[in-house]
Structure 1
């Protein structure tokens, strides 16, 4: 990271020399490039955006898996413990990478824009911890993928053996890589800032062994990602199930192609970073791809439970929407129908009133004509109507006997009036 000297004799450098070196930049300005440290531009935004996008998705799907597989079934297995460990591992890796970008102010800037004094002890410790833990944490993330394959196809003997081989070989490699990282880049002669800078400034840490280890780790990641992707495919092909379900299982495991693509891109940036002198700037795309790769590795085991859960939610929402839509249509149709009836009645009411008045006038005239033909002593029909309908309520109507006594009509005449 900081190429000061090549051996432990740097610890004997006087403090005055260290103070003088603190104002120097990490590397010289390349030819044709103008450097303005006071107005330097930060390029680490893409790493923050990528991590801030994939981490919430990973956390949400992880909680969906835990809820669907553990909370609903009230059962916790070893596979669930390993998955939870992989979630914690991915969060640690991604969080540390974000911390490297936003703390200390050295990741995301060009190396010729960073002074030596800006490389604080905190920044170097965080960088060393991330370098050492990267291997074991990646192994834990891959371990949950091996467990997914094992639990799905454990009746097949060859699948179990290949899973065991993959777990052991990958575990040994990543553990060895962590030890080598700590030995070659750890502090020399103490734990203060100078000792940390000497450890990072050694030739074995910047070039040589660590360059080979960085590239080999990227290649091993690609190998094991394809190993995990291809391992279950023959077993899936032999499954005795419906064609539609078999295709769904294929696609679930083929989501691992995303991890393979990210690991290939990761290998490219590892190689490019190993031969670059602008380490602080070139680290940003490497961290971006790494955070996506780690989160995708955790999301894959969540796919079966997430698909079922979201399927149930979709069915419930669809049913609720259809019911609400039908209720709304019925209510709307009733309102429209009532409104149309009112409009039709209002449109026809003048004609109805005119016809009713005409009928009443004709009726009254016919009764008056009949009154002239009555025998002496009988009451006219007009008086009978006033007696019959002297009140607006039906209770005020007189009984037929009293009507006959007052009017002198017979029963047939009374019935014709009623």
Structure 2
């Protein structure tokens, strides 16, 4: 990049010639390939699409469980709008693959393409920091609601609060610093613009990756002591611990990101930056798993099969709220639904014959001997009255048809 320092003083023809040259001199024994360089475009496209599909699927599963099964949405659930940031990062990677190339050496890239590469990477840094700011805050808020349900100010509660504020401050500072590396800001991606850049930018990248790894380790370890103090069988503790230990995948990705940040000094920016994007993408996907996986088992514990029409009833209720008579309609619909549901529950167990004796309903596989107690009761009162007890005035009408005319 030292070539373009006196760029503004060059003639237009010289500028055009310089922009068509490789962005970096190749090592000894290697020749630049500017037409068809070796790349990882297909792999980057598949990996990005896979991570995007996994993250989106788990986000929608969590929303379904929270809205339709649990029926309670907290502030951390609204932070799932962060999926839009993840989509923005996927767009940046697709753009990088199409316009520059993915995992391509810098000596195989034209100098004119470096502006596009640096611009996309600048967007990725900002979106990546904003994503982790929001997602890690949501994870910690979720754990407060899970492990401190009574609102007791325990050590776990204060640890989560401290991490939340440290996380917000840290990533806010990262975003600010990333946009102040060069003045004016356009010089971050366009080196032909006159201005100044901070020479310690690489050190800031290493520091940011290291502190991010420390946050991941804290979040991974934090709930484990609480889980092992729960009053439950050891096997269940192991299962819960494994569910909350999914963050180890994000920690591994953070370790590789730190290693790639150390290699940034090599000067092969386009190649190393692609590796950084890969591990950042894996880490962001794992952050969605850490947030969504603990709530997913609610979809398979019988709550969703107990009432399969819950989504339809919720939609009907939302429509009825807009009607002027929605209160009356809602009461009548709920009453009818309750009666039909009770009738359905009884007839799942018994089927009554004409002579009044019930028989086992073998079609539905409900053995009658498994039920104890009274299933259904019905009271019938029959009264008999003697007609002689009434004072009937005979006026010639028929006794069997008193409404007829007198004879």
Q: TM-score range by the shorter chain?
A: 0.5 to 0.7
- Which of residues 266, 285, 293 is equivalent to 2:275? 285
- Structure 2 partner of 1:365: none
User: What's the C-alpha RMSD, in Å, of the aligned pairs?
Assistant: 3.0
- Which of residues 108, 112, 121 is equivalent to 2:103? 108
Is the CA contact (8 Å cut-off) linking 1:24 and 1:116 kept in structure 2? yes
- Taking the TM superposition and a 5 Å limit, the aligned residue runs for 1:331-342 are none
- Which of residues 252, 255, 262 is equivalent to 2:243? 252
Please tell me whether residue 149 in structure 1 is matched to residue 161 in structure 2: no
CA distance in 2, matches of 1:259, 1:150: 20
3-state SS, counterpart of residue 286 of structure 2? helix
* Pair 228,119 (structure 1): closer, same or farther in 2 beyond 3 Å: same
Please tell me whether residue 305 in structure 1 is matched to residue 305 in structure 2: no
CA distance in 2, matches of 1:138, 1:214: 15
Larger Rg computed on CA atoms: 1
* Pair 314,69 (structure 1): closer, same or farther in 2 beyond 3 Å: closer
What's the TM-score, normalizing by structure 2? 0.67
Is the CA contact (8 Å cut-off) linking 1:86 and 1:144 kept in structure 2? no
- Structure 1 partner of 2:54: 57
- Which of residues 16, 20, 24 is equivalent to 2:17? 20
Please tell me whether residue 97 in structure 1 is matched to residue 88 in structure 2: no
- Structure 1 partner of 2:220: 229
Structure 1 residue 64: Cα displacement: 0.9
Q: How many pairs were matched up? A: 305
Structure 1 residue 231: Cα displacement: 1.1
Task: Specify every segment of 5 or more residues in structure 1 that has no aligned partner in the other structure, as ranges.
Answer: 317-326, 328-418
3-state SS, counterpart of residue 32 of structure 1? coil
3-state SS, counterpart of residue 37 of structure 1? coil
Higher RCO, Cα 8 Å, sep 6+: 1
Please tell me whether residue 160 in structure 1 is matched to residue 157 in structure 2: yes
Structure 1 residue 313: Cα displacement: 9.9
Deviations 1:28-78 (A, max 9, x none): 121011223223222233322222222212211111110011133443221
Is the CA contact (8 Å cut-off) linking 1:128 and 1:185 kept in structure 2? no
- Taking the TM superposition and a 5 Å limit, the aligned residue runs for 1:105-144 are 105-120=100-115, 123-144=117-138
Is the CA contact (8 Å cut-off) linking 1:3 and 1:26 kept in structure 2? no
- Which of residues 38, 42, 46 is equivalent to 2:39? 42
Structure 1 residue 203: Cα displacement: 5.7
More deviation, 129-138/193-202: 193-202
Is the CA contact (8 Å cut-off) linking 1:258 and 1:296 kept in structure 2? yes
Is the CA contact (8 Å cut-off) linking 1:185 and 1:202 kept in structure 2? yes
CA distance in 2, matches of 1:202, 1:86: 33
- Structure 1 partner of 2:286: 296
* Pair 198,167 (structure 1): closer, same or farther in 2 beyond 3 Å: farther
CA distance in 2, matches of 1:258, 1:17: 49
What's the TM-score, normalizing by structure 1? 0.65
CA distance in 1, matches of 2:83, 2:153: 28
